[in-house]
């Protein structure tokens, strides 16, 4: 297999670079590429990481999965891009310096319309998309979440409409479910369809792979950012290898019990930026990542600079805390946490739900 200058042969691990644009300084912007190709034919798994430049545990996991002896272990091919955002990595920042917007919202979406020419970040994302859409049978995208966050997996909802029928979407959702279960970390469903597209998450790496290209793909949120969390890194390497086993790239059965932590609740959950405070002040959190909460439980107190309590903010849902919001200065309607809250919605949904009165 060839991707950029990385040109693999059966039984070999190849490294190289994928040029994605030219910089004003006269050099190409290039992404590192590692390809492990087995002796026997089989599925192709893509591993991508660090599209947010400071989410470095994912970068370390991607590097550590691609061992020198991997090609001898597998059938099929594993393609790894350890960082999708070298510009962000250079300055230890979430975004690139091209336009300082989220680089994980510019992948193709067949329903997206714009009268403006594509930005350089959109062009880069489109070129990466073309590469994995042409070859991947599955994709794992490695991220991190809030400072102090617990690790978890995001399972996107599968949209149907123009791109696929409902039956095709349900088949795709089953393939996706088998992969996230094999990985072994707690699974959190993505926002409901309307909020999902409102946040442009169908144009994230995994979102576009899943809902545009029809490739089973998910996002692994591997704890907090800025520094490598070694315990999470170790678990995630096992998790990615579990996905390889589920696909038949590696022999044997996945062992999700070898990956921690367990989900704190036994009911389905979805991602929620919650709760918000109506009262500005200093947030004094009462919960930490992994804590289980019920509707009405206090999540944080809002206090004055002198420490007097102004308000107590409660959860509107049953679920658990994924991570607390950064900082303690809270303005009106600021979110105080990221939570996994009870989800009774379908995982397969229409891209454009009909109006109630239609």
Domain ranges of the chain: 2-258, 270-342
Q: Give backbone dihedrals phi and psi of 273, rounded to 5 degrees, phi first.
A: -85, 105
Pairing of strands 319-324, 337-342: antiparallel
Closest C-alpha to 208, from 143, 89, 117, 111: 111
> By the 8 A CB rule, do 336 and 276 touch?
yes
Kindly state the tokens that stand for 175: 């393939």
H or E stretch at 241: helix 230-247
pLDDT given at position 355: 54
Is residue 64 within 8 Å of 230, Cβ to Cβ?
no
Q: What b/e string do you get for 39-57 counting C-beta neighbours within 10 Å, with b at 16 or more?
A: eeebbbbbbbbbbbbbbbb
- Residues in the chain with pLDDT values less than 70: 353-358
Bridge partners (DSSP) listed for residue 7: 2
Q: Token digits for 236?
A: 């995630």
Report residue 331 as tokens. 């303005």
CA 347 to chain CA centroid, nearest Å: 17
Residue 328 DSSP code: S
Asked if the bond preceding 275 is cis, omega within 30° of 0, the reply is yes
Residue 46 in tokens: 């893509």
Q: What is the pLDDT of residue 354?
A: 58
Partners of residue 104 on adjacent β-strands: none
Distance CA 13, CA 135 (A): 17
Which superfamily is assigned to 2-258 in CATH?
A: Zn peptidases (3.40.630.10)
pLDDT of amino acid 68 = 96
What top-level class would CATH report for the domain 270-342? mainly beta
Is 326 buried (19+), middle (13-18) or exposed (0-12) by CB count in 10 A?
A: exposed
Question: For position 358, what pLDDT does the model report?
Answer: 44
């Amino acid at each position: 297999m060839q991707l950029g200058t990385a040109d693999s042969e059966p039984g070999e691990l190849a490294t190289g670079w994928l040029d994605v644009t030219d910089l004003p300084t006269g050099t190409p912007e290039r992404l590192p590429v590692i390809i492990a190709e087995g002796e026997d034919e089989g599925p192709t798994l893509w591993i991508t990481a660090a599209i947010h430049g400071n989410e470095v545990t994912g970068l370390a996991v991607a590097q550590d999965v691609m061992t020198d002896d991997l090609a001898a272990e597998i059938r099929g091919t594993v393609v790894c891009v350890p960082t999708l955002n070298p510009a962000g990595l250079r300055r230890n920042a979430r975004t690139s310096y091209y336009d300082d917007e989220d680089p994980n919202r510019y992948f193709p979406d067949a329903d997206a319309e714009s009268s403006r020419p594509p930005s350089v970040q959109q062009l880069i994302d489109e070129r990466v998309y073309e590469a994995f859409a042409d070859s991947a049978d599955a994709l794992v995208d490695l991220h991190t979440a809030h400072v102090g966050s617990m690790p978890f997996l995001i399972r996107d909802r599968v949209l149907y409409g123009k791109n696929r029928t409902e039956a095709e979407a349900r088949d795709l959702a089953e393939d996706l479910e088998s992969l996230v279960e094999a990985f072994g970390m707690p699974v959190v469903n993505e926002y409901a369809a309307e909020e999902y597209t409102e946040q442009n998450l169908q144009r994230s790496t995994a979102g576009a792979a899943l809902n545009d290209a029809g490739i089973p793909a998910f996002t692994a949120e591997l704890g907090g950012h800025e520094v490598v969390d070694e315990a999470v890194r170790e678990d995630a390497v096992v998790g990615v290898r579990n996905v390889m086993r589920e696909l038949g790239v590696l022999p044997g059965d996945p062992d999700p019990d070898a990956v921690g932590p367990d989900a704190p609740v036994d009911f389905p959950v979805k991602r929620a930026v919650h709760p918000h405070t109506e009262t500005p002040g200093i947030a004094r959190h009462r919960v930490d990542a992994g804590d289980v909460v019920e509707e009405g439980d206090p999540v944080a107190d809002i206090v004055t600079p002198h420490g007097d309590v102004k308000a107590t903010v409660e959860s509107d849902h049953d679920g658990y805390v994924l991570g607390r919001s950064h900082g303690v200065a809270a303005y009106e309607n600021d979110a105080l946490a990221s939570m996994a809250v009870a989800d009774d919605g379908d995982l397969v949904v229409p891209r454009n739900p009909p109006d109630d009165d239609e």
